[in-house]
């Protein structure tokens, strides 16, 4: 989703802003732009629709004498189509602005300003915010106070990067809900939606909190609270390095991130299996019900968690998508544990769900990848996945690392119900996860063959029962996201209640059967589809491997306990999606219409 970069220093501003925008590309966008001060002290704007490379071309062709202060933006369209007029930065009077978020009451403000004679050119809420700040600036010449006054009028979420025509040395920033970080260096400072945009220049950063306001110049960063008090904020050091944002020889970030999974998961189990200090003295046994709340793949990780908590710890669990949970009647008691799952830690709906749960008195445990993200700052307990930066829009190591943490937690809560043998088996598998996944990665040719068998189809179904069904959900989403094939996941036993009418000659079905107790039942359901002409890709594990005439292609994966089986199956499904999208010549790392970090509702 929208990305912000800002720079005040001594380097040529266009170079720093373009390199920052390239790092923010992964968030998802459809247009981009820059506003900067030129060497002869003019404020200039350059925008373009499409890739950053097009903006860069425009910048390179211009004869402008670029200065050293400016702001840049990647826009993911919300209000108005992706065109140059709607692209950021927007300008009104003396103010230029870039924005991430949504100003919900922009229509009223627009009418108010129109009645005062202000003309608007774009369809965006951002231009309205810009015009409003400019309007306040006519009477309030203190820039921080002006922005504060304007923000009091805005409803919704925002991170703003602002430059004023009459202050050629500074960028002004503030945020409410949408992320914004300030990068600190000697003689130059940065602002950005995430650290990736300035990591090649500095690792030092300050996290701006809600309703804080900053004036960022080359030699100073002044941060104020809502009352105008000057704050002394902590400087953090980023642990992620710039090279982690490179493909390092892989054709796509998605492939690189899949190949990182064995090590990421090994590290998770090493770190958390025998050390529960991360729970900060919270006794998990006091909770008799759990709500898992998340979006997208993180919600699918929650489904695996639900299966494990219910099956092994005997605790009732609900799993909700955050956009639904936040508006329903959440039934929370003092024995409810709310588990929030989010790779980015910034997803707007997930953050709102966290706040609702907290306001109702729940203890909130968050499973998050991005250090210092907003969700980590608001949850009661945080468990980091430490998966490293994930750049491909479709999550891979993000998902498996969330499952690994949930499996560790479920194991911890279930210990008293498990026999010594069961415990030893799970621990030994957790310790061996790197080898298990490396073995799954060896089957590349099989994944490519499966991809070749399905890539020309437009419709596909995933079926499975129990925990296999939750793997189907994630496999199906992955395929949709990056290959644009229509795919649906169904509980195998439910297909006959309607959807089986869609099965025709050669309709592809990916059927997953790794669960011993449900295996026979799933095979019966697969046979029902085969009898109607389906082309069946059968995925099972070594223990249950069988031959028969109910499948066309068989993929046999290593056998694991329920706690870990989804890790190897979903890794295989990620690779099947990857090679299918490749056959279909899709833009794998940046699928159309999708954003990595969804910071609007």
Region binding ligand G6P by CB under 6 A among candidate stretches 100-108, 137-145, 340-348, 452-460: 340-348
Task: Judge whether 316 and 290 are in contact, CB under 8 Å.
Answer: yes
Cβ atoms < 10 Å from Cβ of 141: 10
DSSP-derived letter for residue 201 is T
Q: Taking CB under 6 A as the rule, does residue 343 contact ligand G6P?
A: yes
**Which residue in the set 124, 126, 192, 342 belongs to the binding site for ligand G6P (CB under 6 A)?**
342
Of 370 and 426, which CB lies nearer to ligand G6P in the complex structure? 370
Question: At how many degrees (to 10) do helices 106-115 and 125-137 cross?
Answer: 50
Task: Judge whether 454 and 537 are in contact, CB under 8 Å.
Answer: yes
CA distance 321 to 324: 6
Task: Judge whether 88 and 21 are in contact, CB under 8 Å.
Answer: no
| Minimum CB distance to ligand G6P, residue 21 (Å) | 19
| Minimum CB distance to ligand G6P, residue 27 (Å) | 10
Of 255 and 523, which CB lies nearer to ligand G6P in the complex structure? 255
Which entry of 2, 130, 151, 295 is annotated as an active-site residue? 2
Q: Taking CB under 6 A as the rule, does residue 252 contact ligand G6P?
A: no
| Minimum CB distance to ligand G6P, residue 345 (Å) | 7
- Hey, which residues between 291 and 320 contact ligand G6P (CB under 6 A)? 295-298
Query: Which residues fall within 8 angstroms of residue 126, CB to CB, at 6 or more apart?
Result: 79, 88, 90, 97, 98, 99, 103
**Alpha-carbon torsion 248, 250, 251, 255, what sign?**
negative
CA distance 79 to 594: 16
Of 90 and 326, which CB lies nearer to ligand G6P in the complex structure? 326
Site string for ligand G6P, 389-428 (x = CB under 6 A): ----xxx---------------------------------
Of 299 and 433, which CB lies nearer to ligand G6P in the complex structure? 299
Token pair recorded at residue 364: 């909130």
| Minimum CB distance to ligand G6P, residue 373 (Å) | 9
| Minimum CB distance to ligand G6P, residue 252 (Å) | 15
**Alpha-carbon torsion 534, 540, 543, 545, what sign?**
positive
Of 350 and 487, which CB lies nearer to ligand G6P in the complex structure? 350
How far is the CA of 32 from the CAs of 3, 71, 87, 163, in angstroms? 9, 11, 6, 17
Task: Judge whether 265 and 400 are in contact, CB under 8 Å.
Answer: yes
| Minimum CB distance to ligand G6P, residue 596 (Å) | 6
- Hey, which residues between 48 and 67 contact ligand G6P (CB under 6 A)? none
Region binding ligand G6P by CB under 6 A among candidate stretches 290-298, 353-361, 507-515, 525-533: 290-298
Of 87 and 295, which CB lies nearer to ligand G6P in the complex structure? 295
| Minimum CB distance to ligand G6P, residue 10 (Å) | 35
| Minimum CB distance to ligand G6P, residue 307 (Å) | 19
The size of the interface with ligand G6P (CB under 6 A), counted in residues, is 15
Query: Which residues fall within 8 angstroms of residue 323, CB to CB, at 6 or more apart?
Result: 295, 349, 601
CA distance 85 to 101: 18
CA distance 601 to 433: 36
CA distance 149 to 456: 56
DSSP letters of 373-402? -HHHHHSSEEEE-------SSS-SHHHHHH
Token pair recorded at residue 325: 């949970």
**Which residue in the set 347, 408, 483, 559 belongs to the binding site for ligand G6P (CB under 6 A)?**
347
Give me the residue whose beta carbon is nearest to ligand G6P: 296
| Minimum CB distance to ligand G6P, residue 313 (Å) | 24
Of 291 and 596, which CB lies nearer to ligand G6P in the complex structure? 596
Of 371 and 544, which CB lies nearer to ligand G6P in the complex structure? 371
Which entry of 143, 266, 480, 596 is annotated as an active-site residue? 596
Helix (H) / strand (E) containing 351: helix 348-359
Task: Judge whether 101 and 598 are in contact, CB under 8 Å.
Answer: no
Terminal alpha carbon distance of the chain: 12
Q: Taking CB under 6 A as the rule, does residue 350 contact ligand G6P?
A: yes
Q: Taking CB under 6 A as the rule, does residue 559 contact ligand G6P?
A: no
Q: Residue 66's Cα: distance from chain center in Å?
A: 34
Token pair recorded at residue 477: 């989403």
| Minimum CB distance to ligand G6P, residue 24 (Å) | 15
Site string for ligand G6P, 357-396 (x = CB under 6 A): ------------------------------------xxx-
Of 398 and 466, which CB lies nearer to ligand G6P in the complex structure? 398
**Which residue in the set 91, 109, 596, 599 belongs to the binding site for ligand G6P (CB under 6 A)?**
596
| Minimum CB distance to ligand G6P, residue 29 (Å) | 13
Of 175 and 596, which CB lies nearer to ligand G6P in the complex structure? 596
CA distance 132 to 114: 11
Of 350 and 577, which CB lies nearer to ligand G6P in the complex structure? 350
Region binding ligand G6P by CB under 6 A among candidate stretches 242-250, 341-349, 409-417, 550-558: 341-349
Q: Taking CB under 6 A as the rule, does residue 600 contact ligand G6P?
A: no
Token pair recorded at residue 29: 């966008």
Let me know if 496 is a catalytic residue.
Answer: no
**Alpha-carbon torsion 318, 322, 328, 333, what sign?**
positive
Task: Judge whether 231 and 210 are in contact, CB under 8 Å.
Answer: no
**Which residue in the set 344, 363, 487, 565 belongs to the binding site for ligand G6P (CB under 6 A)?**
344
Task: Judge whether 586 and 482 are in contact, CB under 8 Å.
Answer: yes
Region binding ligand G6P by CB under 6 A among candidate stretches 101-109, 143-151, 336-344, 465-473: 336-344
Nearest to 55 by CA among 84, 91, 77: 84
Let me know if 596 is a catalytic residue.
Answer: yes
DSSP-derived letter for residue 228 is -
Kindly list the residues in this chain that would bind ligand G6P in the complex (CB under 6 A). Answer: 295-298, 342-344, 347, 350, 393-395, 594, 596, 598
Catalytic residues: 2, 596
């Amino acid at each position: 989703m929208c990305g912000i970069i800002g720079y005040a220093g001594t380097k040529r501003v266009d170079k720093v802003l373009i390199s920052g925008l390239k790092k923010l590309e992964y968030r998802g966008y459809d247009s981009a732009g820059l506003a900067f001060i030129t060497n002869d002290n003019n404020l200039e704007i350059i925008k373009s629709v499409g890739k950053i490379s097009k903006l860069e071309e425009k910048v390179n062709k211009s004869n402008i004498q670029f200065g050293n202060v400016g702001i840049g933006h990647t826009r993911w369209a919300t209000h108005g189509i992706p065109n140059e007029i709607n692209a950021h930065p927007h300008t009104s009077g003396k103010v230029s602005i870039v924005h991430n978020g949504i100003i919900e009451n922009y229509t009223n403000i627009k009418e108010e300003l129109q009645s005062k004679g202000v003309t608007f050119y774009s369809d965006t809420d951002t231009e309205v915010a810009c015009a409003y700040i400019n309007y306040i600036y006519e009477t309030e010449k203190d820039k921080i106070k002006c922005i504060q006054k304007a923000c009091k009028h805005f409803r919704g979420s925002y991170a703003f990067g602002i430059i004023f025509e009459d202050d050629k040395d500074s960028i002004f920033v503030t945020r409410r809900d949408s992320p914004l970080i300030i990068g600190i260096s000697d003689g130059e400072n940065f602002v950005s939606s995430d650290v990736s945009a300035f990591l090649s220049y500095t690792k030092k950063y300050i996290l701006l909190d809600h309703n804080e306001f900053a004036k960022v110049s080359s030699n100073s960063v002044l941060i104020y609270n809502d009352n105008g008090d000057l704050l002394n904020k902590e400087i953090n050091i980023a642990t992620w390095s710039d090279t982690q944002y490179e493909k390092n020889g892989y054709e796509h970030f998605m492939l690189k991130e899949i190949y990182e999974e064995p090590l990421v998961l090994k590290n998770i189990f090493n770190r958390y299996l025998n050390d529960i200090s991360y729970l900060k003295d919270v006794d998990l046994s006091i909770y008799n019900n759990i709500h898992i709340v998340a979006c997208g793949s993180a919600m699918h990780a929650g489904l695996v968690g639900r299966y494990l908590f219910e099956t092994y710890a005997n605790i009732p669990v609900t799993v909700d998508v955050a956009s639904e949970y936040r508006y329903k009647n959440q039934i929370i008691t003092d024995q409810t544990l709310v588990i929030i799952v989010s790779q980015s830690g910034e997803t707007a709906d997930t953050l709102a769900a966290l706040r609702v749960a907290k306001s109702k008195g729940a203890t909130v445990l968050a499973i998050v990848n991005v250090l210092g993200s907003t969700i980590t700052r608001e949850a009661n307990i945080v468990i980091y996945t430490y998966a490293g930066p994930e750049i491909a829009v479709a999550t891979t190591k993000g998902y498996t690392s969330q499952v690994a943490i949930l499996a560790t937690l479920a194991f911890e809560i279930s210990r008293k119900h498990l026999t010594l043998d069961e415990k030893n088996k799970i621990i030994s598998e957790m310790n061996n996860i790197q080898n298990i996944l490396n073995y799954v990665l060896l089957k590349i040719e099989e994944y490519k063959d499966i991809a070749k068998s399905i890539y020309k189809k437009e419709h596909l179904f995933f079926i499975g029962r129990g925990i296999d069904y939750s793997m189907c959900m994630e496999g199906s989403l992955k395929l949709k996201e990056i290959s644009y094939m229509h795919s649906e996941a169904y509980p195998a036993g439910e297909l006959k209640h309607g959807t089986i009418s869609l099965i025709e000659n050669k309709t592809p079905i990916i059927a997953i059967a790794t669960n011993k107790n449900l295996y026979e039942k799933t095979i019966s359901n697969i046979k029902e589809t085969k009898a109607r002409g389906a082309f069946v890709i059968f995925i099972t594990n070594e223990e249950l491997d069988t031959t028969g005439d109910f499948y066309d292609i068989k993929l046999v994966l290593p056998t694991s306990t329920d706690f870990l089986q989804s890790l190897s199956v979903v890794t295989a499904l990620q690779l099947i999606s990857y090679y299918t999208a490749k056959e279909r010549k899709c833009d794998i790392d940046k699928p159309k219409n999708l954003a990595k970090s969804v910071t609007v509702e």
